Amino acid sequence: MPFEWWVGWRYVRRQRHGKGGFVSFIALASMLGMTLGVAALIVVLSVMNGFQEELRARILGVAAHLEVTGSGGMLEAWQPVTQQLRADPEVVATAPFVSGQALATHGGVAHGVMVRGVLSRQEAQVGAWERFVKAGSLDTLTPGAFHAAIGIDLARQLGIDLGDSLVLIAPDAMLGPTGLQPRMRAFRVTAIFDSGMYEFDSGLVLLSLADAQAFFRMGDAVTGVRIRLTDPLAAPRKVREWAPKLPAGLWLSDWTSRHANFFRAVQLEKTMMTLILFLIVAVAAFNLVSTLVMSVQDKQADIAILRTIGAAPVSILAIFVVQGAAIGVIGLTAGTVLGLWLAHHVPEVVAFLEAVTGATLWNKEVYFISDLPSKVLASDVVLVVGVSFALTLLATLYPSWRAAHVQPAEALRHE
């Protein structure tokens, strides 16, 4: 082992009493700051990665990869369009749908909802509804039965259970004996679903396609056709590919554009949180500057003796670089281990903190999904470790350079 490494490591492990003890305290504080900063970075990046993936999975579970809609929300000749779409080998399933807004009421409580009329068997092939239904079955959504499936949060807000009646009020009115009157229809709730997405669980009502057509007075027309592809990420490409081939007057949209705000917000938050936490790591790293400056002052006599017996300035510089790097690497290693452990136990940690504080740390009404996910990416860990280590080395350069330029005679004059 080169003597520079041995002396630098010795300075890390042992300090004299007095000023040296204070230097050790500052070094320990630098290690702790590095540990907490690196751990926080790994946990936050893992949570944001998990949030993105979970959000994508939940959205694709209830939303189609692509939607073809008619102009003005009416698509009359939808069967030929469906046949044309099914001819594409990348299309797995298609399902016609009717969509419109309404007011849902029960027991004197009202809530605005989005009503979607579906063919239950075809809709199950486009979305993953079967794994979201918690009570009842979507197979009960048969034409003329006037049954409905609602989200679990909407059921709680309206106080509805299976078998209860849900009244839907259409946005347009009809002319009655006393003038304009609201159009309403009672539906029996035969299924309750829990997708984990608050947007759908609190504001979506599923009806059979024929019942929705009757409710919105659309005749045999539909709003559009929902499409599932073999690869969800191919949706934007298929929009560009199909746009010139489909009949005029049709609108194409994919899941990435319909929910773009979610993913932009998550990506922006991830970027900003990364920058903020890297500043914390930078502060911890540059605490090493004060640690090494004090260490250089404390080791003036040692530096003079080493220079007198023939140590070159570059060797003195290397000793203090090793000392600072060792302090940083210890904190960096501890932070990486702590961060990886926390990232793999985020749900348990959140549950523990909620139990201790009595506060709700993860509100699905705010974050759209019910659980706090986490996914550790090796690229993120490498980025955090690499940048943190580079900051550590950068922080050691100036104090080490000062140590290398200490004049032996000046240093020993005051000893």
pLDDT tens figures, 36-73:
888 988 888 888 888 777 777 777 777 788 888 887 77
Check if the beta carbon of residue 94 is closer than 8 Å to that of residue 66: no
Sequential DSSP letters for 123-164: HHHHS-GGGTEEEE-GGG--TTT-EEEEEHHHHHHHT--TT-
Q: pLDDT confidence of 19, banded at 50, 70, 90?
A: very low
Strands (E), 234-336: 250-254
Q: How confident is the model at residue 147 (pLDDT cuts 50, 70, 90)?
A: very high
Q: What DSSP state is assigned to residue 371?
A: S
Q: Is 89 helix (H, G, I), strand (E, B) or coil?
A: coil
The DSSP letter of residue 369 is B
Dihedral sign computed on CA atoms, order 10, 13, 18, 19 = positive
pLDDT above 70 (res 360): no
What pLDDT score does 184 carry?
A: 85
Cα distance between residue 252 and residue 175, in whole Å: 36
DSSP 8-state assignment for residue 377:
-
Tokens of 129: 């509804």
Residue 261 vs residues 52, 94, 268, 269: alpha-carbon distances, Å: 12, 25, 10, 12
Lowest mean pLDDT among 45-59, 326-340, 360-374, 377-391: 360-374
pLDDT in tens, 179-231: 556 788 899 999 998 887 777 888 899 999 999 998 888 888 899 899 998 88
Query: What pLDDT band is residue 379 in, cutting at 50, 70 and 90?
Result: confident
pLDDT band at 337; cut points 50, 70, 90? very high
Query: Given this model, what pLDDT does residue 331 score?
Result: 86
Higher local confidence (pLDDT), 312 or 307 = 312
Where residue 16 falls among pLDDT bands split at 50, 70, 90?
very low
Hey, what amino acid is at 3?
A: F
Stretch 155-179: mean pLDDT: 80
Q: Which residue has the higher pLDDT, 403 or 119?
A: 119
Residue-level length of the chain:
415
Rounded Cα distance between 411 and 415, Å, is 7
Q: Say yes or no to pLDDT of 248 above 70.
A: yes
The C-alpha atoms of residue 94 and residue 97 are separated, in whole angstroms, by 10
pLDDT at 310 over 50: yes
Residue 28 has pLDDT above 50, yes or no: yes
Question: Residue 2 corresponds to which amino acid?
Answer: P
Residues whose CB falls within 8 Å of the CB of residue 387, separated by 6 or more in sequence, listed in order: 278, 281
Instruction: Collapse the DSSP code of 113 into the 3-class scheme (helix H, G, I; strand E, B; otherwise coil) and give the result.
Output: strand
Most confident of 3-12, 45-54, 307-316: 45-54
Neighbour tally for 75: CB within 10 Å: 25
Cα gap 358→379, rounded to integer Å: 35
Of 31-45, 127-141, 362-376, the least confident: 362-376
Mean pLDDT confidence for 99-120: 89
Domain ranges of the chain: 3-58+262-413, 66-258
